[in-house]
Chain A
Amino acid sequence: MKDTLVRVENLSARYPVRRGLFGVRRWIRAVDNVSFTIGRGETLGLVGESGCGKSTLGRAVLALRKAAGGRVEFDGTPVFDQTPDALKALRREMQLVFQDPFASLDPRKTVGRSVRAALDIHGVGSEAERQRRVEEMFQRVGLQRAHIARFPHEFSGGQRQRIGIARALILRPKFLVCDEPVSALDVSIQAQILNLLKDLQAEFRLTLLFISHNLAVVEHMADRVAVMYYGRIVELAPRDRLFAQPLHPYTSGLLDAVPIPDPSVRSMISTIDGDPPDPANLPDGCRFRSRCRHAMPKCAALEPPLVAVEPGHDVACWLHDQPAHLALA
């Protein structure tokens, strides 16, 4: 077992919504009491559909948005409630790669300046040293020296994502949250960026939280996978196990629904009924029960906890509330 780099305990994040002009303020629990760990050098994949809270979770882990409760530890150090100086030091170690690199780059700055900004803020090295590190990083992510002086609009989507990765890595962090890093890219470019991320992970010994709605991409990248549904992790397992033997009806429904690029394989089978629920008005008990073909009375009464049914394979579903080794005993 690898030692733990990131520990997330009972993390919650929420945001207010107001319905109508004088409507009552309600809270959407975008992340609701979520716990997991990520081992040093590991990639944890986080999958779920739009609005499930996976991006909010990624930002809350990095303390880029305020959590409503819980704690995050990075390499043994608590991430929340830190002094500004301590938080700044932590930020060198934890970085974010965005989905849309164009929106995350300042259009008036050369991309070289955007990549260099973190070195300036953290006062790393001399002027010449910073310039050298920017040049090295551009080369490392597959860009040319001439690109440094150009502006974001001069680049293609794939090149912009390379710039986004260069900026995230310039401080040599240990931990990277990648939030849908290839979702805005064309298929032929996705493979380039995914390969680059894998190469850089090996070279810089990076630990990744890899967030995506694309199950095939997550399977390709992750060592372990967490499946999220409306604020909760409903299943968490080693990659091969989760994709071969999904236990939660939501996970297996997601896998059945993916269109496989092979007409001889039947896929796109919809085993999940209806539409996603209103996030401000989730069902009581298990929040998936409104779309679940296995829903039982118990599912409405009680929310199933995330429990280990096998070592390392956690599921939050009343169909699987008996740990296998106990059921056999």
Chain B
Amino acid sequence: MKRIEDIEKMSPEELEQAAAEAPVPEGLAGRIESALAAESVGQPPIVIPVLARKRLAQKSAGRLLRGSIVATLAAAAVAAVLILHRPAPKDSFDDPLLAYQQVEETLQFIAQKINEVYK
């Protein structure tokens, strides 16, 4: 593989020889001929490979976007489930009578606070 500096130093003869030795892609001659023929009758040159590349790029970008949306929404759904699903705390009382007394005391405490405000 030649470097750009080497190519720039080459004479026109050397460049011509290098071009003659370089491998030519298959069907290149046909594509050039058809492009030239189309141009000569006023039709746009054949650009199918470029369009195909663009379409492929658009398709893969679309797939990537869809994948990102699904991944983001899935992550948000998992996070939402983790936030909303919390185990219930353990009851402080086993005896309903003791629990009743606690509730009664709590209501009395609230009432006492209200009473203090209106005193």
Partners in one complex: no
Give B contacts to A, CB under 8 Å: none
Give A contacts to B, CB under 8 Å: none
